[in-house]
Chains A and B, each alone.
Chain A
């Protein structure tokens, strides 16, 4: 395999997986918030906290990928 091709495939794999990790991060945050809500009986405060943390986590993935993309 040529070096350039390998690099292209690597970037393709990384950036293609980005969308999925954003979506999943949001759902993990939401699920965690809902679970903690049930546990501590604080409906719906922790759900929103979890949702916000999930969204921030998802978008931090994009920001990190953007920083990484600058190096190439």
Chain B
């Protein structure tokens, strides 16, 4: 379904790139999300002091609270993966919340973005696994008994592929569904604020989906760190 009006597409239209921008809204709006995050990061880190003030306060609570949460799941070894995880969380959160602003398109409502994020998260969990166990990481895929290896290997490979796909489709489905419902309600009765209740629920959905994506990536990393069963 076509979005009725996209702000960034008009902006790119000024430079004569309208056709490309209209067919790749997830790319341009991903750049916007990145820009928002960079500006917020710059604002928070601009004047770091020992006694935090205003913006720094908010970010310290968010960042350190999440860090403790991640470490409580993965153990001390997971602290190295934390920058990636919090980046994924903040990016998905900003991307989801962009769906609530008129004329903005949430980049996470495109399967390209979510697939890329899921591949990065699951791929990194395997990197962490190899990093921690070396060559013995392959034991995670072979099951408990050597005789059963031909049976366990395909099963484990399928289970790991399912992780990527379930991360992809959960986020994509939720954001795409929300976008569609809002658009349809707008078309049916836009002048009577019909989509307002769905948009209010969208705030909740955006938060929960960002958190679930973050949580599951954390748990996959924790699973790669722990010893083979």
Q: Which A residues from 2 to 43 make CB contacts under 8 A with B?
A: 3, 6, 9-10, 13-14, 16-17, 20-21, 24-25, 28-29, 32
How many of chain B's residues have a CB under 8 angstroms from any CB in A? 23
Determine whether the beta carbon of A54 is less than 8 Å from that of B158.
Answer: yes
A6 and B155 within 8 A (CB): no
- By a CB distance below 8 angstroms, the chain A residues around B156 are 57
> Within the assembled complex, what's the spacing in Å between the Cα atoms of A56 and B156?
10
The answer on a CB contact under 8 Å between A21 and B166 is: yes
Does A24 contact B166, Cβ atoms closer than 8 Å? yes
Inter-chain contacts of B165 with A (CB < 8 A) = 24, 28
Contact check, A60 vs B65: say whether CB atoms are below 8 A apart.
Answer: no
What does the 1/0 interface line of B186-229 toward A look like (CB < 8 Å)?
A: 00000000000000000000000001100110010000000000
Contact for A60 among B73, B155, B170, B215, CB less than 8 A: B155
CA distance A71 to B126 in the complex (A): 25
Is A13 touching B69 in the complex (CB atoms < 8 A)?
no
Roughly how many angstroms separate A25 CA and B170 CA in the complex, as a whole number?
Answer: 15
B144-159 residues at the A interface, CB under 8 angstroms: 151, 154-156, 158-159
Provide the residues of chain A in CB contact with B169, threshold 8 Å: 20, 24
Q: Number of residues in A with C-beta < 8 Å to the partner? A: 23
Query: Which residue of chain B lies nearest to A22 when distances are taken between CB atoms in the complex?
Result: B162
What total of A-B pairs shows CB separation below 8 Å?
Answer: 60
Q: Please tell me if the beta carbons of A25 and B158 are within 8 angstroms of each other in the complex.
A: yes
Instruction: Please report whether the interface of chain B is mostly helix, strand, loop or mixed according to DSSP.
Output: helix
Could you say which residues of chain A place their CB within 8 Å of the CB of B68?
1
**Could you say which residues of chain A place their CB within 8 Å of the CB of B215?**
9-10, 13
Contact B219 A14 (CB under 8 A): yes
Find A21's partner among B65, B151, B159 (CB 8 Å cutoff). Answer: B159
Does B73 lie within 8 Å of A29, measured CB to CB? no
A-B contact pairs, 28 of them (CB 8 A): A1-B65, A3-B72, A10-B219, A13-B211, A13-B212, A13-B215, A13-B216, A13-B219, A14-B216, A14-B219, A17-B212, A17-B216, A20-B166, A21-B159, A21-B163, A21-B166, A24-B162, A24-B165, A24-B166, A25-B158, A53-B155, A56-B155, A57-B155, A57-B156, A57-B158, A57-B162, A58-B162, A60-B159
Report chain B residues within 8 Å CB of A58. Answer: 162
B161 at the interface (CB under 8 A from A): yes
Expressed in whole angstroms, the Cα–Cα distance for A46 and B221 within the complex equals 33
Query: Which listed residue, A6, A20, A61, touches B72 by the CB 8 Å rule?
Result: A6
Identify 14 new A-B residue pairs, CB closer than 8 A, beyond the known A21-B166, A60-B155.
A1-B69, A3-B72, A17-B166, A17-B170, A20-B166, A24-B162, A25-B159, A25-B162, A28-B162, A28-B165, A53-B154, A53-B155, A57-B158, A61-B159
CB distance from B23 to the nearest CB of A (A): 28
